[in-house]
Each structure stands twice: as C-alpha cells, then as structure tokens.
C-alpha cells in the first residue's frame, strides 16, 4: 500500500508538470495555433468535532476528533480542436484521511484517492461527452450538493447547505437523502447544451469485472430547468442485479445493498431551490428508493422443496433547507430531513427503518478563499436504521475492517468547528 501511495504521488506531480508544460511550451510548439487552457483547483476542509452515537446495542461513546471534509485537489484543462469544439481532460483526487493518520475507520490507508477523472469532448452545439470515473448525472446535474449539481464544498449553495461536512444530510447510500447519488467507475456521460435554462444528461457505468457472475451495470437520467433565482430538477438511477442483503439485515448489520441476481435497485427524485431578494435561500427535495430482494425459503415438513421469493422494498425521504445571509460575511443555515418507513421489509417492522436529521450552524466568509464555520447535527435512527454522518462516518462495529458499520439504532451527533481553504 505504501508503494501504491508513492506511485500515486508521482502521478500527481507528473500531471502538475504536464499542466505547466501544456500551458507554455506545448502551446508555443506542438499545439501552436490552438487554445490550450490548464488550471489547478481544490480545497482543504478540516473540522474539530465532538461526536457520539448511542441508542443501539453497541454505543459509540462521546469523544473528540479531527475530521476531513472531503478535501481534494484537481488538475483540469482543454485543448481547442476546431471552431468551438474542445478536447477536455481532468484528474481529481481526494486528500482523504489526513484526519486519522492516513487510515480511516475501515482500515483503508489511501491518502490520494481517485475522484472525477475523465477525458472527453465538448461543443456549444452538441454538448459534452466524457469517459472515465465521474459522478453520474443523478449527482452532477441534479445532485443535492450544490446549485442542483456538483459537490463543491460550501462554495456553491444548493439543497444540502451543509454539503462536505459531518452535518450534511445527503450524497451517499448511508445518508438520509440522495441515497442514489454515486460516482460511476468505468463510465460514459453525456450532457446536452443548455437551452433557455433547460439541460439534460445521461450516464452509464459498465460492469466489466462481473465478479459475482451478474452484470451490475448502472445508468441514470436527469434534467433541470433554471429561471433566474429558481431551479428545479429531476433524476432517475437504476442498478441491475442489485438488492437488499437480507441475510445480514436479519443478523442486525443494518440495511445495505449487495449483488442479488434477477432484481434491481432504483431511485427517482425531484428537488428545487429558490433565492429571494432578501438573500434568503430555500430548498426542498423528495426521493423514492425501490430495493429489490430475493428470499430463499427452506424445506418444511409439509413442503420438501425450496423456493425463491423476489420482490422490492420501498422507502421515501424528504429534506428541506433554509439559509439567510447576514451582511457580506455571515450565513446562518438550517437543514432537516426525514427517511420514512421501509415498506415490504422481510425483517422487523416497516417503521423500525425510519430516521430524522437536523443540522444547524453558520459560516463566516473572510474572503472567497478562506472561511471558518460552526455546526451541530443530530440524527435519530429507529431501531433497525443506521443513517450515518455524511463525512467521516462513525463505526461502532468491526472498526478498521472493510465490513465496519454503525450498529442499527445508534443515533450519531456531532458538534464541530471547521475551516475551509480554497485554491
């Protein structure tokens, strides 16, 4: 693993050198007459927190820690081809786990991890097409992280005003909302040009490995419309041969998905944001998930045959946010959400899988590059639910392993002070 980290570091340094060359020597030599643009971007986001998660069978006791708020560094560029047609490239990496000595709660020690990395082509007439490792349009075009899409770390305000902090409510499978948002590996993505405020897109992730024997390809569709300070978007996401891990669900490991032959998991959502002239921003979102499952029945004295029962569990969530700018410097922000009952569950009661979360705090913008902030978030999980903190989640069981998880019924809380520096 140490050797791998050294290789990744050398690749990043080589990319930085290539970016510098492509902006100078290459532009004057091999690419003479073509417009070449390169840039370096990112942010570092650190938090000092007091966290705990109690209420379940194995509580996570109160303790202090330093957490990473999804810090990253990226190198991006474009090369003029003909007319308005441009070639695109980007290499982006997470600066993960600086908060835990380079090792996270699941025992992983990568400190530079691949994020949105792609190559593609774009024109104002035909849109954008890219291939690589990138957020699906369910996340990038109509995501809850910022401006109905993206994941920009408190720099662009969207539905989830606490994106990229422990107080976020959305963005991954363990969140209360945005549980269908994901980054597709081995994928292709297309975005239409923007036309009178309307834009649409599609993503497809290939399952080349098929390590379970099934094709677990994933695709998503999304569209959004913006008119002045108002934006609305909708999206759909579907993954083949994927469903609820009913065996581990019955063992008390919590709700999780795995490879299940012949069933699918899908999501759809609708969300909207609006900013009033009073500098008050509001957001509202709804998401519905349909989780396939397969249940093998055992022989009984009256029936010596086994049978495979398939079906789907359904769960819905809503969230809302409001923020108020106070002068130029201060922004007070509140977000709240609810994850409803799990209909058609094969274990426990449907109401046992609900959860609520509330996050409250404020940011203080010193300038465009540096901003401190303070927050408090509280998640209340019912007895079979384990919604977790958005960044740096808590693991009360099997900590330090790939199978680490938060015990169902544990309800995380976090109070923190953060600093984000952008470049």
Residue 209 is predicted with a pLDDT of 85
Residue 385 is predicted with a pLDDT of 94
pLDDT tens across 117-164, in order?
999 999 999 999 999 999 999 999 998 876 655 555 576 678 999 988
pLDDT tens across 164-202, in order?
899 999 988 899 999 999 999 999 999 999 999 999 999
pLDDT band at 55 (very low <50, low <70, confident <90, very high): very high
Query: How many whole angstroms from its chain centre is CA 167?
Result: 13
Structure-model confidence comparison of residues 400 and 237, the more confident one: 237
Residue 5 is predicted with a pLDDT of 44
Query: How many whole angstroms from its chain centre is CA 101?
Result: 23
Q: What is the mean pLDDT of residues 305-312?
A: 76
The CB-side HSE value for 365 (13 A sphere, CA atoms) comes to 15
- The pTM (predicted TM-score) of the whole model is 0.86
pLDDT tens across 90-126, in order?
998 887 666 555 566 665 655 566 789 999 999 999 9
Number of H helices, E strands in the chain: 4, 18
What's the whole-number average pLDDT of the chain?
A: 86
pLDDT band at 403 (very low <50, low <70, confident <90, very high): confident
For residue 88, the surrounding DSSP H or E stretch is: strand 85-94
**What is d(CA 243, CA 233) in angstroms, rounded to the nearest whole number?**
26
Structure-model confidence comparison of residues 82 and 270, the more confident one: 270
Q: What percent of the chain has pLDDT over 70?
A: 83
**What is d(CA 40, CA 415) in angstroms, rounded to the nearest whole number?**
32
**What is d(CA 208, CA 422) in angstroms, rounded to the nearest whole number?**
36
Strand 411-422, strand 355-364: pairing: unpaired
pLDDT at residue 412 greater than cutoff 90: yes
DSSP 123-166: ETTTEEEEEEEEE-HHHHTT-SSSTTS---SSSS--S-TTTTST
**Partners of 245 in the beta sheet?**
none
Residue 34 is predicted with a pLDDT of 74
Q: What percent of the chain has pLDDT over 90?
A: 61
At 95, list the tokens: 């600066």
Least confident residue range of 12-21, 185-194, 405-414? 12-21
Q: Are 53 and 394 in contact (CB under 8 A)?
A: yes
Q: What is the 3-class SS of 168-192, one letter each residue?
A: CCECCCCCCECCCCCEEEEEEEEEC
Which of 90, 80, 76, 85 shows the shortest CA–CA distance to 122?
85
Residue 158 is predicted with a pLDDT of 81
**What is d(CA 152, CA 39) in angstroms, rounded to the nearest whole number?**
16
């Amino acid at each position: 693993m140490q050797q791998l980290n050294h290789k990744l570091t050398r690749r990043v340094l080589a990319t930085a050198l290539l970016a510098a060359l492509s902006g100078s020597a290459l532009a004057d030599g091999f690419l003479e007459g073509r417009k070449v643009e390169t840039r370096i971007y990112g942010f570092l986001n650190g938090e000092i927190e007091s966290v705990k998660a109690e209420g379940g069978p194995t509580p996570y006791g109160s303790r202090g820690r330093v957490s990473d708020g999804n810090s990253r560094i990226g190198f991006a560029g474009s090369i003029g081809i003909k007319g308005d047609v441009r070639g695109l490239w980007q290499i982006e990496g997470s600066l993960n786990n600086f908060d835990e000595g380079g090792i996270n709660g699941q025992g992983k020690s990568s400190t530079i991890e691949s994020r949105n990395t792609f190559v593609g082509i774009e024109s104002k007439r035909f849109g954008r097409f890219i291939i690589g490792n990138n957020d699906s349009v369910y996340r990038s075009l109509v995501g809850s992280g910022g401006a109905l899409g993206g994941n920009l770390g408190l720099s662009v305000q969207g539905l989830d005003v606490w994106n990229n902090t422990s107080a976020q409510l959305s963005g991954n499978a363990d969140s209360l909302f945005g549980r269908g948002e994901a980054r597709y590996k081995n994928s292709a993505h297309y975005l239409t040009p923007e036309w009178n405020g309307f834009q649409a897109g599609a993503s497809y992730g290939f399952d080349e490995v098929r390590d379970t024997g099934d094709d677990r390809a994933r695709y998503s569709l999304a569209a959004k419309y913006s008119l002045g300070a108002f934006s609305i978007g909708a999206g759909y996401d579907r993954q083949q041969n994927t469903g609820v891990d009913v065996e581990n669900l019955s063992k008390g490991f919590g709700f999780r998905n795995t490879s299940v032959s012949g069933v699918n998991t899908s999501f759809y959502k609708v969300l909207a944001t609006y900013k009033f002239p009073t500098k008050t921003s509001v957001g509202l979102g709804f998401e519905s998930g349909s989780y396939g499952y397969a249940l093998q029945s055992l022989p009984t004295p009256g029936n010596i045959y086994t049978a495979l029962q398939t079906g789907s569990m359904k769960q819905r969530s809503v969230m809302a946010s409001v923020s108020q700018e106070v002068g130029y410097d201060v922004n007070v922000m509140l977000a709240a959400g609810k994850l409803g009952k799990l209909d058609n569950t094969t274990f426990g009661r449907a109401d046992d899988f609900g959860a609520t979360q509330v996050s409250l705090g404020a940011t203080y913008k010193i300038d465009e590059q540096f901003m401190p902030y303070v927050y408090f978030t509280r998640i209340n999980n019912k007895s079979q639910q384990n919604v977790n903190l958005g960044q740096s989640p808590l693991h009360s069981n099997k900590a330090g392993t790939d199978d680490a998880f938060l015990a169902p019924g544990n309800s995380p809380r976090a109070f923190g002070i953060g600093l984000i520096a952008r470049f």
